[in-house]
Amino acid sequence: MNSDSALPTAPDDAAPERLAPRPLYRPTVDPASAAAFSRPAGVADPFAPGAGRGPSEPDPALSVRPPDPVLAEAFGRPEGETDTIGRDPDAAAAEEPGAETVADPWRDPAAPVRLGAAAVQAPPAAALPPAAKLGVRDVLFGQRIAPRAVAVLVGAALAVGLVGGIVGRITAENVGALTSKKVELTQSGGGDREVGQVAKVAQAVLPSVVSIQVALGDQTGTGSGVVIDGAGYIVTNNHVVSLAATDPAKSTLRAVFSDGTHAPARIVGRDTKTDLAVVKVDVGNLTVAQLGKSADLQVGEDVVAVGSPLGLSKTVTSGIVSALHRPVRLSGEGTDTDAVIDAVQTDAAINPGNSGGPLVDDQGRVIGINSAIRSESGGSVGLGFAIPVDDVTRVAQELIRTGAMHHSEIGVNARSVTNDQTTGAQVANVQAGGPAQQAGIVEGDVIVKVGDRTVANADELVVAVHQQSVGQSVPVQLIRSGREVEVQVTPVSD
């Protein structure tokens, strides 16, 4: 753009140009709207006061019409009333002197709830007409009857009472006649009756069975035992005397014989791996139990269990041998017993307190020491277990001689396994340098037989190993990678 070029400008004194006002647009009003919202016919001025009508001049169109008679009757004041329905809260109430001012719950939110007068007064009860007084006949019979009928009823009542009294008297006399001092009852004696075999066994065995009582402070326990030697040696369970073994100086161990005599006892030795213990009493002339052989037992033989179940001494129960060579693990709270026994199973009732007592055959020979039950409730349900007398004899003899018992071990820990391929005891770990490692047994091998004893689970492996002699080689069959392998293992003493 050139510097000398310029736009045309208006003179300074020229007035600015103004735009003309737009035309006023008035919408078209339809006749219906005009009829509804326009002034009434004949009215030229607006509804507000205007020219030609003074402010005090009433508008005829706005005059108040008298109320409808029906509405006046419904909502008007009752005849003779001058006050309105509403009351001025600020106005002073005209009260009689000494009258109590009652708070109005409709106007005062803090006013208490109260009952007012009824809206409609109940009409007074109408007076009843006077009635005649009731007599005795009216009260008893509900209506008037003749005096002769009353006399008949009274006579009938007396007759019934007389007959009842006579019958009662006769009955009382007959009851007295039912008793007699001349009758004497007789009993037949059993001198010629044959004594049963269980009774014979009980008579023979009971004198050799003792009740063992243990106390340590506030803790007490009761078990059973059986005399196995005339020098005062008694065999029982380890878990019966383990409480006394924890603190011999403060504990009390006592044997109670069948005749009621008491004698203090001392622990000779204990074996936690077979749950057996031997105690000794200084008592002479003891009745010694006869020991049998558990190797000769047959399933179904009659047996008798003797002991002190639940503290009840000299208790005898009978049953049969239910099973043999039943591996049972024994352990529990409050005892150091950790044993697996090759048990004799019986259905003779065995309960807590029978532990340590004898299981005898029908000839009165001890064939086991009662040790455990298996029950969901803790009571006897026909599943009792006894340590075979062959094991009892071997362990008790060693405890009496040396005071300790040692068992054979091969140095493995196992767990039970059952699958489609095999059933046995699977080796979980092998002791370094132990007999099993020296024989080539490794983890994962499943042991199915030790010597002549078939192994079906981990507990049965413990029993089978303990039956072997220390230092004597024994064949062990196992399954490794699906193949059967046999190795020679030499057990050592624990």
Query: For residues 86 and 30, which has the higher predicted lDDT (pLDDT)?
Result: 30
Mean pLDDT along residues 252-262? 92
Taking 70 as the threshold, does the pLDDT of residue 231 lie above it?
Answer: yes
Contact (CB, 8 A) for 225 and 234: yes
- Whether 197-405 and 408-493 share one fold: the answer is no
CA proximity to 346, closest of 365, 312, 364, 372: 372
pLDDT of residue 169: 74
Mean pLDDT along residues 150-163? 82
CA distance 113 to 118: 15
pLDDT of residue 6: 45
Mean pLDDT along residues 329-337? 83
Percentage with pLDDT > 70 across the chain: 80
Taking 80 as the threshold, does the pLDDT of residue 459 lie above it?
Answer: yes
Q: Which of 38-42, 462-466, 468-472, 478-482 has the weakest average pLDDT?
A: 38-42
pTM: 0.63
Taking only the tens place, the pLDDT of each residue in 342-386 is: 999 999 999 888 999 999 999 999 999 999 988 877 667 778 999
Query: For residues 217 and 210, which has the higher predicted lDDT (pLDDT)?
Result: 210
What is the Rg, in whole angstroms, of the alpha carbon atoms belonging to the chain?
A: 58
Taking 90 as the threshold, does the pLDDT of residue 36 lie above it?
Answer: no
Query: For residues 472 and 3, which has the higher predicted lDDT (pLDDT)?
Result: 472
Query: 197-405 belongs to which CATH class?
Result: mainly beta
Residue 177 phi/psi, 5-degree rounding, is: -75, -15
- Architecture of the structural domain at 408-493: Roll (2.30)
Active site residues: 239, 275, 355
Taking 90 as the threshold, does the pLDDT of residue 256 lie above it?
Answer: yes
Domain ranges of the chain: 197-405, 408-493
Residues ≥6 apart with Cβ < 8 Å to 179: none
pLDDT of residue 4: 47
State in Å, rounded, how far the first CA of the chain is from the last one: 122
Taking only the tens place, the pLDDT of each residue in 414-427 is: 999 998 888 999 99
Strands (E), 287-362: 290-291, 302-307, 315-331, 338-346, 358-361
Band of residue 1 on the pLDDT scale cut at 50, 70, 90: very low
Contact (CB, 8 A) for 477 and 485: yes
HSE, CB side, 13 Å, CA atoms: give it for residue 210: 33
pLDDT of residue 364: 93
CA proximity to 370, closest of 312, 403, 330: 330
Band of residue 21 on the pLDDT scale cut at 50, 70, 90: confident
pLDDT of residue 2: 46
User: What would the DSSP string read from start to end of 215-279?
Assistant: EETTEEEEEEEEEEETTTEEEEEHHHHHHHHH-TTT-EEEEE-TTS-EEEEEEEEEETTTTEEEE
Band of residue 29 on the pLDDT scale cut at 50, 70, 90: confident
